[in-house]
Amino acid sequence: MKVTYLGHASFKIECRENVVYIDPWLTGPTSPMKVDDVEKADIVLVTHDHGDHGYAEAIEICKKTGAYFVAINELGIQAKGDGVENVHTLNIGGSVEIGDINVTLVHAFHSCGKGAPTGFIAKFPCGTVYHPGDTGVFSDMRLFGEMYGIDLFLSCIGSYYVMDEHQAAMATKLVNPKVVIPMHYDTFPVIKADTEDFRNKVSQAVKDVKVEIMKPGESIELKF
Ligand code: ZN
């Protein structure tokens, strides 16, 4: 799979002919692209309705590409009201199959306006990705690892609103993925993080997890 980091908590994931955006905050200060640059999208996942997770951009992307918008029920209903045609209004524990991608909505511990804060586990033919949204660490992450066999874990590390390096390293141990990519840090001064400290803490906490530190705009090819 090809993973492109779009800054903050935003990712573009490509597998075969499918393009999936997660929390596409393309108006964010570190985003390397704008909604105008989006040519193709099949699914857009939004973990919660805080502005830095790209609900507004997700609506624009879905309208221009016909992509499915997937989020928790109340946010999905809002997206329908905002004019998105293809919407899945999941709730915690629920899954939906869109083409050859299976998307499961899972809980997160955070706050939000509509519905509840969530994370996504997306099973692609090229591998399984867990985007936890904004959250603190919680022990059910071990359950997700055991149940879904996570290949790629996208872990918030910036503290203040989400997990810090210490919690994120424990989260990585619980999820036990093949690869972890840190996110949700260095966008603003209050979420400054030390990626090398995270790398060291992961290597102390768990064996055989590769830490991939990405710059906004960078892409990597991962084979699972
Ligand atoms: Zn948030």
Tokens encoding 148: 């879904």
Q: Is residue 55 in some structural domain?
A: yes
Q: Separation of 106 CA from ligand 1 center, angstroms? A: 15
This prediction's pTM: 0.98
Q: Is residue 220 in some structural domain?
A: no
Q: Is residue 136 in some structural domain?
A: yes
Q: Separation of 110 CA from ligand 1 center, angstroms? A: 7
Q: Separation of 223 CA from ligand 1 center, angstroms? A: 30
Q: Separation of 17 CA from ligand 1 center, angstroms? A: 30
Taking only the tens of pLDDT, the chain with its 224 residues reads: 999 999 999 999 999 999 999 999 999 999 999 999 999 999 999 999 999 999 999 999 999 999 999 999 999 999 999 999 999 999 999 999 999 999 999 999 999 999 999 999 999 999 999 999 999 999 999 999 999 999 999 999 999 999 999 999 999 999 999 999 999 999 999 999 999 999 999 999 999 999 999 999 999 999 99
H or E element that contains 197: helix 195-205
Q: Separation of 16 CA from ligand 1 center, angstroms? A: 30
Number of compact structural domains in the chain: 1
Domain that holds residue 182: 2-213
Q: What is the CATH number of the domain that holds 28?
A: 3.60.15.10
Q: Separation of 158 CA from ligand 1 center, angstroms? A: 12
As to burial, measured by CB atoms within 10 angstroms (0-12 exposed, 13-18 middle, 19+ buried), residue 93 is exposed
Q: Separation of 133 CA from ligand 1 center, angstroms? A: 8
